[in-house]
Structure 1
Amino acid sequence: MKTKKRKIIEIGWREYVSLPEFQIEHVKAKIDSGARTSALHAEEITPFDQDGISFVSFLIPFIGCEKGMRCSAKIVDRRPIKNTGGVAEERYIVKTPLILGNEHWPVEVSLTSRQSMRFPLIIGRTAIREKGFLLNPGRSYLSGRPGYISPQPE
């Protein structure tokens, strides 16, 4: 039985990515193999129920934009995640499509304040393992700008 060889895609320690469900065409993200879960900077994180389904509303602030982007997503989990200081904090987890280069796949993202961090988004090892990327820690922006896909109306 022949197995199909998977093309290895090399990525740098920082890349441009898109989160089309959140109307983010491109954002600088840190690829962090030390983090298990991806994390997105969000403010005003508020859970709510709609027709018996748990959602979370949150604000994604943008540099130069006074109001930011108000988003909501279905909660897929709530779990303790260690922050950069090693302290566990309870975070909401949402699932959203991510685009890196020409690759497009759903990833789990925790919502947290990353205001004091250099990158508003980190992509953890679970997300990069899904596509089998090869991380080159000495390079940056190897994938170029992502091929943004506009969300389709429901």
Structure 2
Amino acid sequence: MKQKIVIGRNDKIDLPKLHLYDLDAKVDTGAFTSAIHYHMAEVIEKEGRRVLHFTLLDPSHPDYNGKSFYFENFEEREIKNSFGDSERRYIISTIIHIFGRDFETEFSLSNRGNLKFPILLGRKLLKKGFLVDVSYKNLSFNQKQK
């Protein structure tokens, strides 16, 4: 059996393809898909193709840089929020760097502006070999600092 990676209730993660580092993330075993806070998102035509154009975080977040991202490969899905209500959200796939390893995972773009953590890590990522122990926090970030 492959050894599990113990992750705490929250940590700091990197999204290297998006040039975002040490972002606060909450582990949520109740969420299927991971989520990331966005400021603006729209589907546009670019060179004859439908492209998702968005910015992450928001101007009040310390890591906000106003940088625009363009994804050709994206989906729109109905996602149930924490209140059980369905919302239509954009879904992107990118790399998360945690515990010195890269994992490809999906993120739904979600308005998390009024929440403490701009990123939520859901079961779709956690089932790739993580074991959650809520008595810990920032295990990956602390390991990275050594």
Q: Percent of pairs identical after alignment?
A: 28
Q: Which amino acid in structure 2 is aligned with residue 11 of structure 1? A: I
Q: Which amino acid in structure 1 is aligned with residue 139 of structure 2? A: L
Q: How many residues align?
A: 142
- Name the residue aligned to 1:54: 50
- Per the normalisation by structure 1, the TM-score is 0.82
Q: 2:102 aligns with which of 98, 104, 116?
A: 104
Structure 1 gaps, min length 5: 148-154
Structure 2 gaps, min length 5: none
Q: What is the rounded CA distance, in whole Å, between the counterparts of 1:64 and 1:144 in structure 2?
A: 18
1:25-44 alignment, distance < 5 Å: 25-44=21-40
Change in Cα spacing, 1:113 to 1:125, as seen in structure 2 (3 Å) is same
Change in Cα spacing, 1:24 to 1:67, as seen in structure 2 (3 Å) is closer
- Per the normalisation by structure 2, the TM-score is 0.86
Q: 1:15 aligns with which of 11, 18, 21?
A: 11
Q: Which amino acid in structure 2 is aligned with residue 121 of structure 1? A: I
How big is the shift at 1:145?
5.6
Please state which structure has a larger fraction of its residues in strand. Answer: 1
Q: Does 1:81 align with 2:79?
A: yes
Q: What is the rounded CA distance, in whole Å, between the counterparts of 2:133 and 2:126 in structure 1?
A: 12
